[in-house]
A and B are shown apart, each in its own frame.
Chain A
Amino acid sequence: MSATLAAAGQIVVPALSKAKPLRLPTVSDTELDSGLRVLAVRRPGVPLVEFRLRIPFTAPPGRAVGQHVARSQLLSDTLLSGTAEHGAADLAAAIQALGGAITASVDADRLGLGGSVLASSLPALLDLLAEVLVSASYPSEEVVGERERLVQELAIHRSQAGVVAREVLLHRMYGAHPYGHDLPQPEEIERVTAAALRTLHGRRVAPQGAVLTLVGDLQPAKATAAAAQALQAWAPTSASRRTPAPPAIPPPGAALLVDRPGAVQTTLRLAGPAPSRGTPDAAAFTLANLVFGGYFSSRWVSNIREDKGYTYSPHAQVEHPAAGSRVVISADVATDVTAPALLETRYELGRIATVAVGQDELDQARRYAIGTLALGTASQAGLASTISVLAGAGLELGYLREHQRALEAATVDEVLAAGARYLAPANLTTVLVGDAANITGPLRRLIDIEDA
């Protein structure tokens, strides 16, 4: 449509009224004698409290990372399988009776316990949380059963092309560093014993360096006191570790191709290092990434989806593991347009890395980045996750305001510099999972290909 009514001035698109300033709540911040930090925020609304507990949990240096990944995954999966006082089903029933839920998860940086509970039952939920932290028993038969179940579940998980691509990508980037092992291997899981989990729990499920975030219909002083009371018996141990700095990510080299015979799509991933939150070029990079492919209105999405129809959900996402951030560029493209899709992707990356962005598209990305800061903190769950994640990175909630200022100030030149440094196609590791027989030939006209 070349001549639209708005362009002809017949219909006026409403202007935005004045933006409200970012409102951030006060965070009550208390370090208990055990070393546990408790952050509490009153955000009434629905009668719930959201909680997030992060415990540093990276692999010990000099030990087999694969073993730690297997043990920590199984520990997370059986942490709620029994305590000194409750069996698995009894514990689940007790949590449910509070209108509560506790889920455990683990990654290369931390063990996480999170969930929500009816506000009036927060003290009781904290008691159950303490019971788990202090006396999780890892019953042998639960561990053996979960071991078998986890092997089956991982087989299902690894049947997804995106999971395979991510494993290959992270291993290529980080090698033997903990970030290079995204998922446990079945043979490592089969070797994990209940005794090993109890030992690992005793050493590492400890309050020093851990952060508990509580957000919701609560009084911060009262909630903090309830946490201190409930978690009294959770004693510190000698272990406290931060994730080691990752090795320098090797030059990308040839693209890695994982054959998936007969696949109707190719799973395309490109990735490289990105600036961590709060570093000088973080805001400029956020904007460069948005203009490139970080939101729907970006150049890359307009090109390969809205113009050419090669894909459904292209996205360029920044991930922030503790020891160094990365950008991951993802698209699942129809098999017969794999090479053209990679060509357009490299074209748009090349553009953001070598040609200054227009002031209009920069301002548009800037308004998006600033506006969505308010959206992310507008619910109890969103606020709790934001505070917890920032605390894990050593930042306060006020970081969001500093980030907003940095976004407001970033210039075209700074955005070009960030694009050049982090989004140049020559610097990104490329992985493809697809039907090798159909895609290898056309891809070789663009890049070097190596079997993964």
Chain B
Amino acid sequence: MPPPAASTLSRARRPAMSASFAVERGRLDNGLRVLVSPDKASPVVAVAVYYDVGMRSEPEGRTGFAHLFEHLMFQGSATLPKGEHFTRVQGAGGTLNGSTHVDYTNYYELLPSNATELGMFLEADRMRSVALTEENLVNQVAVVQNEIRVNVLNRAYGSFPWLTLPPVLYESFANSHNGYGDFIDLESASLDDAQEFFNRYYAPGNALLTVAGDVDVDQVLAWAEQHFGDIPARTVPTRPSFAEPAPKGEQRSTMTDHLAPSPAVALGWRVPDPADLTAFLPFVVLAEVLTDGDASRLQERLVLRDRSVTSVGGYVGLLGDPLDTRDPTPLLLEVHHPEETSVDTVLAAIDEEMDRLAQDGLAAAELERTVRRMAARYLRDVDPVLGRALSMSVFEQQRGRAELVNELPDLLSRVTPDQLQAAAATLQPQSRAVLELRPGGPA
């Protein structure tokens, strides 16, 4: 979907703010898609594998399973004993990690480029024959429980709002459940569950391999064939629709957090299907117009002028990345405020600012400066080869268009003041979810 040509006038006045990274593709007979983006600027390479399964796909009674399974993928294979995945990568001078998202799970290495083939081998190795053992399962359930303790249970605001707002905003299990997992569910997970999850979702045809950095395209494609080519093709699951109707009327809920010293409130609205970038991007820009920096609408109003709140943040996407999630997805506002400020005061000020934006539109240059900063920040994210590989991967997996890595700044600058005004007009009290966090309560 090539974007329409910009007018020469606006192009001439705009500073350079896009990149031109190479995008090459391949596909193996077993269905694995391969993306290569060569760049010789530094002797480093990023290797990433994206599986098209995330928290939304885990079955009822198995909350947290997608993430638990991500941990199991690091525990050895039929070829390599436990621990060697780490020692091989780190012993090559590399770093590694994986992460589980709403709609996908990724695994990646950043390596000196002389270890490119090793990184690809290790990803192929676990895609072919991850070692699922009882001992590893028990160990990683304990590790994940400690991850949840450190990030949620022993941390003020730890679940707020990413785990606690979805049940207010959504109805279906897929969209509303706790993706980190209930302890009971984690402890109930069995090896059979793991094997079935692997068989179903970790098929080569459900994955994308991305290699970016100091590499030769033909060499990478040859290594892909050599190391991944003999992994048997399996049926690729059809991704279900997770669509559900938007809330009818304002949804309100209250939670307590015994570790929190002061209250907070989160607001969430459904936004258009991200598949339609033209309809979706105005909301991504709107979140920045509302909350990015002292010149943004809500910072200026709530923090600088009214002095009524401690902080206000806003973003599209539950985990803060607007462009890595499929439908449905929310625009969120998160406000921390002192006891002296009531939630009603916060909500009234937000409603007022939203109305002002919807009715009077943007100030001169407000959209241009916001978009310019967004474009520059995106360029900063994709300057490192790892950030670039991850961004390209999610574009390729969800949209078949890794080239968006180069096109996004231009697409952002095409959002019009009218679109933004119309977007603001949809963020009404009657279509939102509101979650209040009260300090105190039982430990």
Show the binding face of A for B, using Cβ within 8 Å. Answer: 1-2, 4-7, 11, 13-20, 23, 43-48, 80-81, 88-93, 95-101, 116-121, 142, 145, 148-149, 152-153, 155-156, 158-161, 261-265, 267, 295-297, 302, 305-313, 332-334, 364, 367-368, 370-372, 374-375, 377-382
Contacts and interface: CB of A to CB of B under 8 A. Distances in A.
B243 interface: no
Contacts of A120: 15-16
B95 A375 contact: yes
Given A47-B16, A101-B376, 4 more contacts: A13-B79, A17-B114, A96-B372, A306-B143
Contacts of B377: 101
B259 A97 contact: no
Contacts of A98: 372
A118 B375 CA distance: 9
Given A152-B338, A297-B91, A309-B140, A88 B294 contact: yes
Given A368-B91, A371-B111, A265 B150 contact: yes
Contacts of B146: 265, 309-312, 332-334
A11 B126 CA distance: 13
Nearest to A155: B261
B86 interface: yes
B115 interface: yes
Contacts of A309: 138-143, 146
B6 interface: no
B190 to A, nearest CB: 17
B28 interface: no
Nearest to A7: B81
B383 A374 contact: no
A197 to B, nearest CB: 17
Contact of A332 (B80, B154, B260): B154
Interface residues of B, number: 91
Contacts of A267: 154
Given A1-B76, A13-B121, A156-B156, A307 B147 contact: no
A267 B150 CA distance: 9
B268 to A, nearest CB: 21
Contacts of A15: 118
A231 B125 CA distance: 56
A334 B139 contact: no
Nearest to B151: A312
Interface in B370-398: 370, 372-373, 375-377, 379-380, 382-385, 387
A181 B15 CA distance: 44
A13 B88 contact: yes
Nearest to B156: A159
Interface stretch (B203-211, B300-308, B424-432): B300-308
Interface stretch (B39-47, B56-64, B231-239, B277-285): B39-47
B78 A101 contact: no
B345 to A, nearest CB: 15
Nearest to A313: B150
Contacts of A121: 15
Nearest to B382: A46
B249 interface: no
A92 B295 contact: yes
Contacts of B80: 4, 6, 13
A93 B295 contact: yes
17 contacts: A1-B82, A4-B80, A13-B88, A20-B113, A88-B304, A96-B293, A97-B368, A119-B15, A159-B261, A262-B258, A264-B149, A296-B96, A297-B90, A334-B142, A368-B94, A374-B93, A375-B110
A13 B115 CA distance: 11
Given A93-B295, A265-B149, A378 B42 contact: yes
A58 B188 CA distance: 54
Contacts of A100: 373, 376
Given A160-B155, A375-B112, A381 B384 contact: yes
B153 A264 contact: yes
Nearest to B288: A96
B228 to A, nearest CB: 13
Given A119-B16, A306-B82, A312 B150 contact: yes
B262 interface: yes
A156 B133 CA distance: 42
A20 B112 contact: yes
A378 B125 CA distance: 28
Given A1-B81, A372-B93, A152 B303 contact: no
